[in-house]
Amino acid sequence: MKQSDIFRENAENCLQLAERAEGQPAFRRYSRMAQAWHALALEQDWLDGEISPLHLRVLTQ
């Protein structure tokens, strides 16, 4: 399994935790964690040569 896929799984797990979170602070925390994991997955795709730097820049804006 590619490293970026593992990062995406982590993002999905965080989103699931956010859905079950009790209260806004926990929901926001898990949502931010999911965003961070997703950003890491995109960066890893770039490092692996799967997406261009320009594509990465568009996706992260």
Residues 39-53 pLDDT 10s: 999 999 999 998 877
What pLDDT score does 28 carry?
98
Query: What angle in degrees, to the nearest 10, is found between the helix axes of 24-47 and 3-20?
Result: 170
On whether the CB atoms of residues 43 and 11 are closer than 8 A, the answer is no
Give the residue carrying structure tokens 């999911």: 34
What distance in Å separates the CA atoms of residue 9 and residue 11, rounded to the nearest whole number? 5
How far is 54 from 28, CA to CA, in rounded Å?
29
Listed as ranges, residues in the chain with pLDDT below 50 are none
Residue 4 and residue 59: Cα distance in Å, rounded? Answer: 15
